[in-house]
A and B are shown apart, each in its own frame.
Chain A
Amino acid sequence: MKTKKIELDVDFIGSQPSTLTKEEEQAISNYILTHKIKLLRTNSKVKVNA
């Protein structure tokens, strides 16, 4: 299957200073944890059904 390539005019610009707030740090950790739990639940369901 052919994958769709995204063609863009490229202009690489970032920003400084690059710092995360405590809330943002927490949000990232929460996302990772929630995602892990979801994956574990999905995997255990698959095992039970197998």
Chain B
Amino acid sequence: MGFLDNSSITVDAILTKRGREILSEGGDLAIVKFALSDEEVDYGLYDVTHPNGTDSYGAVIENMSLLEATPARTNFRSFLVNQSLGGAQVTLDSLNYTSVDTNANIALNPSTIGGAAENYTFTIENTNIVKFTGSPSATTTTASSVNLVAQSISTAATTTVTIIGSTSGIVNVVTISVKADPTSNQDPTGPKTFKSNKTVTAGSARTDAGSGPSNY
């Protein structure tokens, strides 16, 4: 007879930059939901030919040590979902936009293949490089599609836009490279031109009307 394992899984969470920002503004975190991710896991290492049998198929994955959490996260690269959504994917016309001119518009119109129609959460990594048309202060917006506008920047720079299906959780990433504007003195790696990180949901009223330049 042996002793039962009485250990429980307890983990410490760290706030993301957005979480810190909300606290610094005196706001309430108001955490209402969670999502699970399997980032860092390569299921290709699941070895169904392992000589020790089925219990050892996932040994390589289960024994790995994971990286620590970092605050500079806005979302995860992959999510655990229910089986009904297994195999679904989010597609776009293009995942890579290069040499985009200043003030050029980019339309992102994703669709979910293998799942129900849904809205998507769009998150811009660096809003000095592209912004949402009509919502210049937002870094995140939820809608079925969005239009982006390339910003005037002093040196060529690249950013990403992460697209996550609101229901499916499927992630895709669009990379956008904007050309330098010789007339600009805006450093693309400098502080964000709009401090607030407001989130805009489809159908909600804009809270930043008139706060930016007129060429969105």
Note whether A and B form a binding pair: no
